[in-house]
A and B are shown apart, each in its own frame.
Chain A
């Protein structure tokens, strides 16, 4: 017999890590963030750099690779890395304070600048990295379902889910609008300034379109029984991969070890 549509919309994952129950993934994300902050307080060298954040970041590609999503994650991480790099450079060269460490011509690196540059940029890489892992291995509808299951109000869950969907759609629409602007003779390619000039006019139709649509969207939902009281049916159900307990235990263990290590460093 052919599969029913209800069967076809379910998500089956073979990879045990990628298939983790969303709430366990969220636990991993939270604990990873906690660990990142703890590790960020460990300073090395004469100017107190948070160097541990650099090897700690290796966890991300390992996690992504073992979830079978390295390719997708690397693509998203590249954008994060660019932002982190800009922050690193700006902070390093522009923030004054403390001892001047190096000087080349008019550029100089100060103690305080270098310190915040390293901790901030790697903090960003780590935290954004773990979220990239979460979102690249979890589909929107899994997150939505997990939110509702966690007892979140259905209205709040709707806002969250539709926002996730909208991000995809808006980025699609912005491409369409960019192309339309290009057709009208607006330059959209070239250096940063040219792009910025093209970017802002394209925002107007983008946002306007989203706002105008929202009124009828509300009524559409209303017409589909969105605000009806009582139990709702869910055709899509979350699955467990079987590795939940192990993964949660491992995440908790690592966090405890890191915190214990940090305390030990203080005491010793």
Chain B
């Protein structure tokens, strides 16, 4: 496995900012794992993503201390090639269209055109991704005429089609209905099965609990907890620090406090059903 991205004592301040947006961050992102990034508004999640992709400091300027390494090379030493390695989906879907294409099909194909992929292959890959993200019906529509949720899917498709090894996705479901949200997570799941490394910022903690491997909890520019999702999301002390935890975990810990002998604190619904059922069995036996 090994680390694909490494942050070493990273402190980053935006230009003119009084306080750093990220403070002394050190962590490793391992290949093929799915990281869920959570934390309250303004805690530095987007800034963290921008740092991993090298947008900070190369685009946002500002001051970077420490280093961010992608496959062992500093982000500041990369040029345009980083776009082939890391796919990046931004938080705001409305600014994520190229602005020069007048159909969704061409919009999704735009990156592949830039990479100089042969036309027949572009057609094949774009159609495949449009089916996967459920936007094929929009193929001939103008990207400017889409709803927020449709745009978010087009933005996701435009990045997935490039087949990068690492995907950074910043709140891809903010504009989506529950069904759309589930389908985005299903897409991310298939990407994970293809051994992609995924870094996903998402407020919907229950979905993180279900799909992610690891969780990073941000607060005031620092990672206050990081590690296996079962460990992090069942840690009730995080609640006091303002983090939100899955409802089933909170419920589980309350049941445990009240004396139900749970073997562990569940973080997903499925796990909760199992754990609670087992505990109830046990209690009956006693």
Contacts and interface: CB of A to CB of B under 8 A. Distances in A.
A70 to B, nearest CB: 24
B84 A228 contact: yes
A212 B269 CA distance: 41
A218 B97 CA distance: 10
Nearest to A168: B144
Contacts of A46: none
B90 A216 contact: yes
Interface in A155-188: 158, 161-162, 165-166, 168-169, 172
B122 A220 contact: no
A232 B140 contact: no
B114 A220 contact: no
A147 B140 CA distance: 24
Contacts, number: 115
Nearest to B79: A227
A224 interface: yes
Interface residues of A, number: 41
Interface stretch (A5-13, A21-29, A92-100): A5-13
B72 interface: no
B106 A219 contact: no
A219 B80 contact: no
A233 B112 contact: yes
Nearest to A158: B100
A58 interface: no
A6 B116 contact: no
Interface string A141-163: 10010000000000000100110
Contact of A162 (B95, B100, B111, B122): B100
Contacts of B97: 220
A236 B118 CA distance: 13
A171 to B, nearest CB: 12
A228 B103 contact: no
A4 B101 CA distance: 17
Nearest to B114: A225
Interface size class of B (residues with CB under 8 A): 35 or more
Given A4-B123, A233-B117, A235-B109, A224 B158 contact: yes
A225 B99 contact: no
B165 to A, nearest CB: 14
A213 B144 CA distance: 13
Nearest to A212: B95
A228 B88 contact: no
Contacts of A234: 113
Nearest to A8: B140
A135 interface: no
A14 interface: no
Contact of A223 (B87, B106, B113): B87
A229 interface: yes
B102 interface: yes
A224 B100 contact: no
Contacts of A222: 55, 59, 80, 83
A263 to B, nearest CB: 45
Contacts of A213: 94-95
B83 A5 contact: no
B109 A221 contact: no
Interface in B24-54: 53
Nearest to A161: B100
Contact of B113 (A141, A165, A232): A232
Contact of B114 (A5, A139, A162, A224): A224
A8 B159 CA distance: 23
A233 B119 contact: yes
Contacts of A231: 116
Given A169-B144, A228-B84, A5 B95 contact: no
Contact of A216 (B96, B116, B118): B96
24 contacts: A6-B122, A8-B105, A162-B99, A165-B99, A214-B95, A216-B90, A219-B88, A220-B97, A222-B83, A223-B53, A223-B87, A224-B83, A224-B158, A225-B83, A225-B84, A225-B162, A227-B79, A228-B114, A229-B80, A230-B116, A233-B118, A235-B109, A235-B113, A235-B123
Given A162-B99, A223-B88, 15 more contacts: A5-B140, A141-B101, A144-B100, A162-B98, A169-B144, A215-B95, A216-B92, A216-B96, A223-B111, A224-B98, A224-B114, A225-B84, A228-B83, A233-B117, A235-B106
Nearest 6 CB-CB pairings of A with B = A216-B95, A224-B111, A225-B114, A162-B99, A227-B80, A223-B88
